[in-house]
Chain A
Amino acid sequence: MQIVAKGLTYTYNPKSPFASQALKGVDLTIEEGEFFGIIGHTGSGKSTFVQHLNALIRLSGGQLRVGEYDLSSKKCNFVELRSKVGMVFQYPEYQLFAATVEKDVEFGLKNFRKELTEAEQTAAVREAIETVGLDYDALKDQSPFELSGGQKRRVAIAGVIVTKPEILILDEPAAGLDPLGKRELMELLHSIHGGWCKTIVIVSHDMDEIAENCTNAAVFSDGKVVLQGKPSEIFRQADKLFSLGLDIPMTARCALLLRAQGIEIDTDFTCDDFAEKVSALWRKGGNHAQ
């Protein structure tokens, strides 16, 4: 499903002294199959935007289409839409609530896929739990509250992907995890991407994470999309990002410093590519000794 937003606007607490316009005309298209990154300062409108995508926030201005669902239409089937657009919030492990892992994961299914038989539901739950890398038989009867932080987060993700959403949106999916936990979580998302969920959209503050993982990205600032394109294109515009109070990946900072010394590294800013390009440069030119 393709996501197309045109002139999207949204105001919190309208017509009150606390009114604040979070979206000021967002134009953005996210194609099916992308691993899309949304970047922006706290308060830039990125969370407000993603909450529109499965109608957690109802459209109040502009146009939004997600696949065949026109969210500006009163006839839009929001329940069906929500089963196809899964949303994983920040720190989703705080939202676990059921007595067992199985019941927690099953909850979404019971709401969205009532047509499934008991056996089909159990099979779907097993598949979701195994897909997030957990042992179904060992964990299904355990309380989710007794698991480790990383496991809890996986259970929470299983509870969202169990309905087989075509689009999976995750707000800061790796926040608070240790470095290896972050890497494992991103690996999990890549393993889901393309098969289980066609499109993945992540909101992230971590520019290195965006550079390493995303096919395309958009930068939000003050309720609008101010930059979009491949991460390699976005992170070339360091001055613009700095002026918005945003960072660039470590590799991009290094490339800037090298450029100041007259050394150009044409990289996509992933660590592996950066190292490759630098060593290629070294082999080609600088190293006459060999």
Chain B
Amino acid sequence: MEAVRFEHVKYSYREDESEYAVNDVSLSVEEGEFVAILGRNGSGKSTLAKLINALLTPTSGKVSVFGLDTSDEKQTFAIRKSAGMVFQNPDNQAVASIVEDDVAFGPENIGVPREEIGKRIDFALNAVGMQDFRNAMPSRLSGGQKQRIAIAGVIAILPKIMILDESTAMLDPQGRREVMAVVKKLNREQGMTVILITHFMEEALQAERAIVMHRGEVVMDGTPEHIFSHSDALETYNLTLPRAAYICKKLQAAGMPIGEAFTAEELAEEICKSLQKG
């Protein structure tokens, strides 16, 4: 089933529409997909994300989430229930002083019965591996733990789509790994549709599809490997290659016969093969 559909969507933050943050975007995301969205700051990624769960509605064109039109105010509630969003700053998203209250905030708002809320808290905290922190204070947790609680708060609404808007940007490597592991697990085990906005090329490689945005438009759409093999195009869009791919390119330029590599593991394998061939 189609989870998200954009049809010629334009969005402008300006009243006179002199500039579009999202400019004529058409795309479709299937339920269960794991999509990474790449692009420079100001390329329209976050605007695109906010258009999905009706935090913004299109200036022109149409966005639908599971067939519901986001411009139809009567549907806003249902749309936000099916598309949850996690933001960048781990310190700005906690609403309660105790973890379980924080996770309960979403379900309480959408009128989930009391006894059901308890079950949802268990489920959500288990899903992010934070079940032992039920009575902890969010303010005393690490950045990665706070983001996992923010994700749990979204999971507790049982959304079908999770949108992460640079949710790992402010975390240390450990915190980043924790969050990515949770996101991958939700996608694999629960079939949750994941839309991941990120600057980390290594994270994009974990998605099955990547979309590159540039000046409000979708300029590339394909597997991450496909996208990272077009280094010239990436340069045009001011993106950088993952380090392994950059080294690969340098080796190729030096005349070494070597296949494509995007991670340390792939690079080591390719170098090995190439050296042993001789």
Q: Which residues of A contact B (CB under 8 A)?
A: 41-43, 91, 148-150, 175-181, 183, 205-208, 245-247, 250-251, 253-254, 257-258, 261, 263, 271-272, 274-275, 278-279, 281-282, 285-289
Contacts and interface: CB of A to CB of B under 8 A. Distances in A.
A149 B278 CA distance: 49
Interface string B252-272: 001110000001110111011
Given A91-B170, A149-B41, A250-B263, 16 more contacts: A41-B172, A177-B41, A180-B40, A183-B240, A251-B243, A254-B244, A254-B264, A257-B265, A263-B272, A271-B243, A271-B247, A271-B250, A275-B251, A275-B254, A282-B275, A285-B275
A175 B170 contact: yes
Given A42-B172, A178-B199, A181-B41, A274 B278 contact: no
A18 to B, nearest CB: 10
A245 B178 CA distance: 13
Contacts of A207: 173
B217 to A, nearest CB: 17
A275 B250 contact: yes
Interface size class of B (residues with CB under 8 A): 35 or more
Contacts of B255: 279
B244 to A, nearest CB: 6
Contact of A278 (B170, B174, B175, B251): B251
A62 B42 CA distance: 47
Nearest first, the 6 closest Cβ-Cβ pairs linking A and B are A286-B278, A257-B268, A275-B250, A179-B240, A253-B264, A287-B278
B68 interface: no
B142 interface: yes
A179 B228 CA distance: 14
A150 B41 contact: yes
Contacts of B250: 271-272, 275, 279
Nearest to A288: B278
B239 A286 contact: no
A282 B253 CA distance: 13
Nearest to A180: B238
A35 to B, nearest CB: 20
5 contacts: A180-B240, A278-B247, A281-B275, A285-B278, A288-B278
A286 B247 contact: no
B187 to A, nearest CB: 24
A176 B174 contact: no
Contacts of B243: 208, 250-251, 271
B278 A289 contact: yes
A254 B269 CA distance: 9
Contact of A205 (B88, B172, B274): B172
A148 B278 contact: no
Contacts of A176: 88, 166, 169-170
B264 A278 contact: no
Nearest to B242: A250
B138 interface: no
A181 B238 CA distance: 9
Question: Which of B264, B265, B267 gathers the greatest number of chain A CB atoms within 10 Å?
Answer: B264
B268 A286 contact: no
A253 B199 CA distance: 21
Question: Which of B246, B263, B275 gathers the greatest number of chain A CB atoms within 10 Å?
Answer: B275
A178 B41 CA distance: 6
A250 B247 CA distance: 11
B267 A254 contact: yes
